[in-house]
Amino acid sequence: MANTIHDIGIARQIGAYSDALEVPANARWLVTSGTPGLALDGSLPKDIAGQAELAWRHIVSMLERADMTVHDLVKVTHYLVNAADIPAYVKVRSRFLGGAQPASMLLTVSALVRPEFLLEVDAFAARA
């Protein structure tokens, strides 16, 4: 059984996400840590698009290891240090999510754990 969307009309006024999702009983959960756009070799792209691409590749990789897809995402929180980066970030996010519309929160923050990180993404996924 899939997660059930409960749409009250707020999200559709703002973007491609859901107001709320209900997870079925006895679902398996995957909870990610804040995931930056850091390459596995430790390198870090200088721009938001490059960092977003890597962060979302990592999220998708974690989902795949748990036998899940972006359609199993229940809640995603996006942390960006520059509000001006939101349009470029949303473009990458939208490409990775396709038609998936998890509950979502995007925040701009003053800093992340490393000053060169432009974003981090954390996610909750569930699959029955």
pLDDT over 90, % of the chain: 82
Q: CATH number for the domain including 81?
A: 3.30.1330.40
Q: What is the pLDDT of residue 95?
A: 97
End-to-end CA distance of the chain: 6
| The two structure tokens encoding residue 113 | 């754990």
Domain membership of residue 27 as a residue range: 4-127
| Mean pLDDT over each residue of the chain, to the nearest integer | 95
Say if residues 52 and 89 touch (Cβ distance below 8 Å).
yes
At 1, is the pLDDT very low, low, confident or very high (cuts 50, 70, 90)?
low
- The C-alpha angle with vertex 16 and arms to 40 and 107, in degrees rounded to 5, equals 60
Residue 7 CA to residue 90 CA, distance in Å, equals: 21
- Mean pLDDT of the region 51-55: 98
Place of tokens 């939101």: 86
Domain count of the chain?
1
Residue 7 CA to residue 119 CA, distance in Å, equals: 28
pLDDT digits (tens, 9 = 90+) for 30-48: 999 999 999 999 999 999 9
Q: Is the pLDDT of residue 16 over 90?
A: no
Residue 14 CA to residue 30 CA, distance in Å, equals: 26
pLDDT digits (tens, 9 = 90+) for 95-114: 999 999 999 999 999 999 99
pTM of the model: 0.92
